[in-house]
Amino acid sequence: MPLRAPTLPLAGGSQMPVLALGTWPMNDAETAAAVASALTSGYRHIDTAENYGNERGVGEGIRNSGIPREEIFLTTKFNRAHHSVDGARTAFEASCHRLGVTEIDLLLVHWPNPDQDRYVDAVRGLAALRAEGRIGAFGVSNFTPRHLARVVDAGFLPEVNQIQLDPEHTRPELQRVHHELGIVTTAYSPLGRGGAFLTSPAVLTAAAEHGKTPAQVVLRWHVQQGIAAAPKSSDPARQRENLDIFDFSLTPAQMQAISALDVGAATHHDPEVFGH
């Protein structure tokens, strides 16, 4: 029987599988094959975005997998052009059309784009969609504590913030805010970009002690903290490997050693100046 990831409860009542298949950067054809393979292997959470340009491929992969739509947790995100109440609805409908679905489980504002200062209205539009039952949950991506504070002050609580996070970028201040507010963290690029830390003694030692690969150890480091992770992989064997992380636990010392790899470096893009 295929492995299945456990779920994390979201504030609005949804249950989100803790491990997602990331789909950036893959084109539609690559995505369709990767999604079908991942779902067959046991994944039940697929992550995409308007900006990835592969929502049609995600939809094709879901249909080709034979897995019922109601068993799949589907996340997508929308761009700055839709940062308004009506724009969020337009983005939702466009994503549904490309995906070939009628509902989306989690819809996110992809970047805050503070230069245009409309991200609060974008979240307001998401809250309206959830109230109507069109989406199961709503959230944001790449929001900083300042951006989250403005949204919360306006009366809206994002259920998820998807951010760059890995052992070299542990984002302690942002994670503290998430814990205080009850926002679930999802890590994109959870294995890094280049993944130099995968060869660190902290990771290699833990991998040897548990009979796991370095990538499995790092993914376990994420989920053991209650962080969801969305590693990208188009290789069926690697997909199954990434999913095989729920039969062991890292010790407190191993967790601390991996967290100590944080180099304090800036993330790849500053949410104050970058966005889609």
Binding-site residue ranges for substrate: 110
Annotated binding site: 110
* Helix orientation angle between 85-99 and 55-65, rounded to the nearest 10 degrees: 50
Centre a 10 Å sphere on the Cβ of residue 157 and count the other Cβ atoms it contains.
16
Adjacent-strand bridge partners of 137: 106
**Which amino acid makes up residue 160?**
V
CA 251 – CA 221 distance, rounded (Å): 10
Burial class (CB in 10 A: 0-12, 13-18, 19+), 246: middle
- From first CA to last CA, the distance across the chain in angstroms is 40
CA 190 – CA 79 distance, rounded (Å): 22
**Which amino acid makes up residue 148?**
L
CA 167 – CA 182 distance, rounded (Å): 22
Catalytically annotated residues: 52
Buried b (16+ CB within 10 A) or exposed e, 40-60: bbbbbbbbbbbbbbbbbbbbb
